[in-house]
Amino acid sequence: MDLSQTTATDLLNAMSTGQASAVELMRATLDRIASVNGPLNAIVALRDPDELMAEARVLDDGPVTGPLHGLPIAVKDLVNVAGMVTSQGSPIFQDNIAKKDDLIATRMRAAGAILIGKTNTPEFGLGSHTFNPVHGATCNAYDPTRTCGGSSGGAAVALAAGMVALADGSDMMGSLRNPAAWNNVYGFRPSWGRVPPEPVGDGYLHQLSTLGPMARRPEDLGVFLDVISGPDPRQPHAVPSPAVSPVSTADLKGMRIGWLDDWGGAYPFEDGIRDLCQNALSVFTQLGARVEAVAPPIEAERIWDSWATLRSWSVAANLAPLAEQRAALKDTAQWELDRGLALTAMEVHHASVARTEWFRRAAEVFNDYDALILPSTQVWPFEIETPYPTEIAGNSMDTYHRWMQVMVPVSLIGLPCLSVPVGFGAKGLPMGMQIFGPRGSDARILSIGAAYHAATGWPQNYPARQ
């Protein structure tokens, strides 16, 4: 068994049946990290290997502690893990050692996971390109001269390169989906509220960002999602979270799938992306689904204006305590901070009205379709030295994040969404597409993804080899 490419579910089964041990898996994990992480720079702040091996021995010698018993996981460097540095990619916090676990880390530990280190992220998680002044840039798992995406870029690369079998991430504007697409793995954005955030600060107003899982197949996503899901009594938007694991493989016969393509021409794409996604749609047709083109349910610019306002408002709320250290923030963080602080209450209200209008329109569309599909990104992985794309197919981008606009319809209204691999372009770079449904349809979206994966198996058929 090649532990570096075995899926999480198979690893957990192997340990539960005695075919493998936590010690063997930890040794293989550390060896793999030592072999490939250097040039990729996906895992940062790795814990002491002797401590990790000792922790694995304790788990081997004791009872099964939970569904992730003995599985090594590197946690995104926006999450506090007791005794480990949480830099958030910022020089302001590069020596910040967490005193306690965040809620998601607590749940992973309780499930038996061994938290081995951190995965790299952009500064404060802003921007879908993983680079920062603390840890540097993370390379694409398939081309070290290209970006891996972000902000869960380190997690995606660690998965693709076989350093971990499961990873956590977070997604405000596509941070679980974009890097999954660019590294030939799966990223799942759950229904908003299913996975509770850390219970600090405001718990009522901001509904854009969520935590979620990444893996090399949908069944593994389900295992991890159940671990990190569930209401927290300290938070007001408690959402019932029925188990999704074991993820079933959906029978797609008779299902109706809607293809939103380029949103009626509103979203520009680099050559080859839409074609690759349209080719992937044929898999659904072959499995018995009916795939139909869907006209844009609402104007793309109305969604964007709502999104840009609510995002700046949310980001500024998080960065406001650092306003006096503004000069230490990267330029895009300064832009979000200044823009958010300048917003009026009525501007935020009008943005939320537009968001609500899109939610209602989407509900009407889902009366006719089991799921909708969009590409996962509008550009191919760009050169690692480029901070962000400023144009797409001759269309100028007016903000640092406009090039990710195809992610916004899902993010704005908190829908469950699975980014699935769709293959590789002419230059050998991976791509993906988004499968999404109404709030609460997490299990169904994962089961549709499982059927697609059974027919394609992109991560297993084309693993990243370093």
Which sign, positive or negative, has the C-alpha torsion 405, 208, 8, 157?
A: positive
DSSP 259-295: E-TTTTTTS---TTHHHHHHHHHHHHHHTT-EEEE--
Q: What is the mean pLDDT of the chain?
A: 97
The confidence band for 14, taking pLDDT boundaries of 50, 70 and 90, is: very high
pLDDT of residue 55: 98
pLDDT in tens, 118-138: 999 999 999 999 999 999 999
Q: What dotted CATH number matches 8-461?
A: 3.90.1300.10
Backbone angles phi, psi at 167, to 5 degrees: -150, 150
Mean pLDDT of 106-114: 98
Asked whether 163 and 43 are in contact (CB, 8 A), the reply is yes
| H helix runs in 169-217, sequence order | 178-182
Rounded CA separation 147/154 (Å): 11
Which is more confidently placed, 240 or 288?
288
Residue 234 predicted with pLDDT over 80: yes
220: which 2 tokens? 């593994």
pLDDT of residue 239: 85
pLDDT of residue 466: 67
pLDDT in tens, 200-218: 999 999 999 999 999 999 9
pLDDT in tens, 382-400: 999 999 999 999 999 999 9
pLDDT in tens, 354-391: 999 999 999 999 999 999 999 999 999 999 999 999 99
pLDDT in tens, 253-278: 999 999 999 999 999 999 999 999 99
pLDDT in tens, 325-353: 999 999 999 999 999 999 999 999 999 99
The confidence band for 77, taking pLDDT boundaries of 50, 70 and 90, is: very high
Rounded CA separation 231/27 (Å): 35
pLDDT of residue 310: 98
Which residues make Cβ contacts (< 8 Å) with residue 166, sequence separation at least 6?
A: 8, 68, 71, 73, 113, 159, 213, 214, 215, 220, 223, 224
pLDDT of residue 413: 98
pLDDT of residue 3: 75
| 98: enclosing H helix or E strand | none
The confidence band for 465, taking pLDDT boundaries of 50, 70 and 90, is: confident
pLDDT of residue 2: 81
Backbone angles phi, psi at 212, to 5 degrees: -170, 175
Peptide bond into 246 cis (omega under 30): yes
Which residues make Cβ contacts (< 8 Å) with residue 437, sequence separation at least 6?
A: 366, 370, 371, 372, 415, 416, 444, 445
The confidence band for 53, taking pLDDT boundaries of 50, 70 and 90, is: very high
Nearest alpha-carbon partner for 176 in 11, 407, 385: 407
Residue 37 predicted with pLDDT over 70: yes
Burial of 201: CB neighbours in 10 Å, binned 0-12, 13-18, 19+: exposed
Q: Is 320 left (phi over 0), alpha (psi -120 to 50) or beta?
A: alpha
For 424-440, letters b (16+ CB in 10 Å) and e give bbeeebbbbbbbbbbbb
| H helix runs in 41-163, sequence order | 49-61, 103-110, 153-160
Percent of the chain scoring above 90 in pLDDT:
98
Collapsed DSSP state (helix, strand, coil) of residue 139: strand
Mean pLDDT of 162-183: 98
Q: Which residues are catalytic?
A: 76, 151, 175
| 214: enclosing H helix or E strand | strand 210-215
